[in-house]
Structure 1
Amino acid sequence: MALPPLHSFRVFESVARLGNLAAAAVELHVTTGAVSQQIKSLQGSLGVELFEKRGRQLVLTASGRELQKRVASAMGEITEAVQALRAGGQREPERVGITLSIPPADGVTWLATSLFRFMEDSRAISLRVIAATGFHQVDWRRADVAVVYGTPPWPGFWWRLLHGIRLTPVCSPQFLRGPQAIREAADLARHRLLHEDDGSQWQHWLAEAGFSCGGAEDIHFEDFGMVLQAARDGFGVALSDETVSQRDLDEGRLVRPLPISVAAVHNYYVVCSEAKRQRPEVRAFIDWLLSIGE
């Protein structure tokens, strides 16, 4: 019985290790569709299912785990042999570089965690991360892809919604106690509202909640990280997304005083120039970003 093409085993090993078609596509410098087709072809040739989908991750079946052990061992030996040969010729393994621009870390903690995991697991990618608050601050001479907080359109660029934000008030736990405790939207009038914009986000939230009065002595910041820190320190009430502030909520630094969430005025988008999107590894990296933003 003829073996399936050896390349399909390399694709299988990458998907098995990374647990994601798009991440494997980035590592292999091909499109996500090409990886998917290779896996389907391999499963068809072997007559067994190698993966099952659980949420956003691909998980190995029992057959897949058995094959992965053998293939990973074989790939490891091949890799060591190639590295030894290249060391003799003083050649470095070829790696593909991608530069990603993201907003300041406080706004994209949910993304940063996945990025670190991707950089640890992907062997062939050199990922450089730079920072920019909004679309017009992105250094497009350096960035291949950007995660942008804002509202399209951006002429001359391709974009897709990465993470749709639903905003909810967050504050220090102290705001749940005492005579000034927040129990309903009207109670916000007794507290300072913390803004990261000109006030549009809070005005939109209050209108959706059926309440039009703002807080006392509102403060406006240009940096979302300063907004969240002020909220943690008890200086007022901020608006944040549950995903963005999940760690603060889990660890008790912030609480949700009200159960009301509304769609944000702005959202997170993945943005790329049409020219750079022609690179297969860039398209695959965008697919991976979209898969973790779902």
Structure 2
Amino acid sequence: MTERNLPPLNALRAFEATARLQSVSRAAEALHVTHGAVSRQIRQLEEALGRPLFTRQGRGLVLTEAGERLRDTAGAAFEQLRDAWTDLSRPARAPFVLGCPGSVLARWVIPRLDRLAGDLPDLTLHLSAQEAPLPPDLRGLDAALLIGTAPWPADWRVTPLAQERIGPVLSPRYAGSARLAGSPASALLDETLLHTASRPQAWRDWAEASGLRTTPQRMGQGFAHLYYLLEAALAGLGVAIAPEPLVTDDLAAGRLIAPWGFVDTAASWVLVTPARANATRAAALAEWLTGELASPALTGTA
């Protein structure tokens, strides 16, 4: 495409601002020019195009069909330019702030930081443990790694990474491990089960997905966070319920066993970013996370 195939860019900028703000006066104020300058730029576009972009309706302006099409295209193009400029204006190695629940951070992200640094050397990651619900604008974060279900806030760009899978796990040190390892999943209905306040429905979800007619009722020790729950399981204190990626390394090392495997839930692992933020670095991270979640345990975990 040559320059002759492009509209006058100053005129296009004036048109995009007018269409977005629905006012020549507000567009002039936003662009720091006069009302007349914006009007002239729009007329220049209309003359070059050979058709009107706006029609008058009362005291306001209404986009024509051609105007609506140009508004959508120009708006997307200027948004991409703004995103690219913002990204290029950052320091070369500006930190990328990733938020995630503390249990995910401790048990899954931190053990993989060396591998992430080797695979994405240009991404300087700053980790932020997030236990409270995230604000809709993800204030202070470039992205967040979450396990959850829709609906998501409208201001988020959500990239699915993997289906969540959960299952019961226990240590070989647990007193009933030999007996349970050779029993059907229904044997857990008679066990006192460890659970976490952050995911109180996990045992119910697992029982339903496993086709059990009854939900486990005998809840034992409860823990505030998943991290503590899994530490208790590793100590042989009982049977815990856990997302598969958080225990893959322990299973590979023989520290935990999962006699009944794992089942899909309605939740997903997702990477979320502010919808208007530049997605370049987040896209590279999302691709890496997807591969990691699909890969076997880390080597050297025994």
TM-score interval for Structure 1 and Structure 2 normalised by the shorter chain = 0.5 to 0.7
Q: Given the superposition, is the C-alpha separation of residues 283 and 122 from structure 1 closer, same or farther in structure 2, using an over 3 Å criterion?
A: closer
Which residue is equivalent to 1:288? Answer: 288
Q: Given the superposition, is the C-alpha separation of residues 236 and 227 from structure 1 closer, same or farther in structure 2, using an over 3 Å criterion?
A: same
Q: Given the superposition, is the C-alpha separation of residues 111 and 198 from structure 1 closer, same or farther in structure 2, using an over 3 Å criterion?
A: closer
TM-score normalised by structure 2 residue count: 0.57
TM-score normalised by structure 1 residue count: 0.58
| TM superposition shift of 1:242 | 3.1
The yes-or-no answer on 1:240 pairing with 2:242 is yes
| TM superposition shift of 1:99 | 0.9
List alignment gaps of at least 5 residues for structure 2.
1-82, 85-90, 295-302
Q: Given the superposition, is the C-alpha separation of residues 112 and 201 from structure 1 closer, same or farther in structure 2, using an over 3 Å criterion?
A: same
| TM superposition shift of 1:237 | 1.1
Q: Secondary structure at the match of 2:203?
A: helix
Specify the structure having the higher radius of gyration (Cα): 2
Q: Secondary structure at the match of 1:159?
A: strand
Which residue is equivalent to 2:162? Answer: 163
Q: Given the superposition, is the C-alpha separation of residues 94 and 256 from structure 1 closer, same or farther in structure 2, using an over 3 Å criterion?
A: closer
The yes-or-no answer on 1:214 pairing with 2:216 is yes
CA deviations over 1:204-232 (Å, ceiling 9, x no partner) = 22123324141524333331101111111
Give the Cα–Cα distance (whole angstroms) in 1 for the partners of residues 118 and 287 of structure 2: 19
Q: Counterpart amino acid of 2:127?
A: V
Q: Counterpart amino acid of 1:280?
A: T
Sequence identity of aligned pairs in percent? 26
List alignment gaps of at least 5 residues for structure 1.
1-28, 31-92
CA deviations over 1:176-197 (Å, ceiling 9, x no partner) = 225x766122321332212234
CA deviations over 1:218-267 (Å, ceiling 9, x no partner) = 333331101111111222211223332111112222111324x3212433
Which residue is equivalent to 2:171? Answer: 172
**Is contact 2:99–2:141 with CA below 8 Å preserved after alignment?**
yes
Which residue is equivalent to 1:140? Answer: 138
Give the Cα–Cα distance (whole angstroms) in 2 for the partners of residues 242 and 279 of structure 1: 28
Higher mean C-alpha deviation, range 201-210 or range 280-289: 280-289
Which residue is equivalent to 1:255? Answer: 257
Q: Given the superposition, is the C-alpha separation of residues 176 and 141 from structure 1 closer, same or farther in structure 2, using an over 3 Å criterion?
A: same
Give the Cα–Cα distance (whole angstroms) in 2 for the partners of residues 103 and 198 of structure 1: 12
Give the Cα–Cα distance (whole angstroms) in 2 for the partners of residues 285 and 198 of structure 1: 26
Q: Given the superposition, is the C-alpha separation of residues 195 and 273 from structure 1 closer, same or farther in structure 2, using an over 3 Å criterion?
A: same
CA RMSD across the alignment: 3.1
Q: Counterpart amino acid of 1:127?
A: L
**Is contact 2:161–2:290 with CA below 8 Å preserved after alignment?**
yes
Q: Given the superposition, is the C-alpha separation of residues 125 and 177 from structure 1 closer, same or farther in structure 2, using an over 3 Å criterion?
A: closer
- Off by >4 Å, runs of 4+ in structure 1: 105-108, 120-123
Q: Secondary structure at the match of 1:245?
A: helix
Q: Counterpart amino acid of 2:192?
A: R
CA deviations over 1:81-102 (Å, ceiling 9, x no partner) = xxxxxxxxxxxx9423211112
CA deviations over 1:104-137 (Å, ceiling 9, x no partner) = 2456744444433232465443221111136427
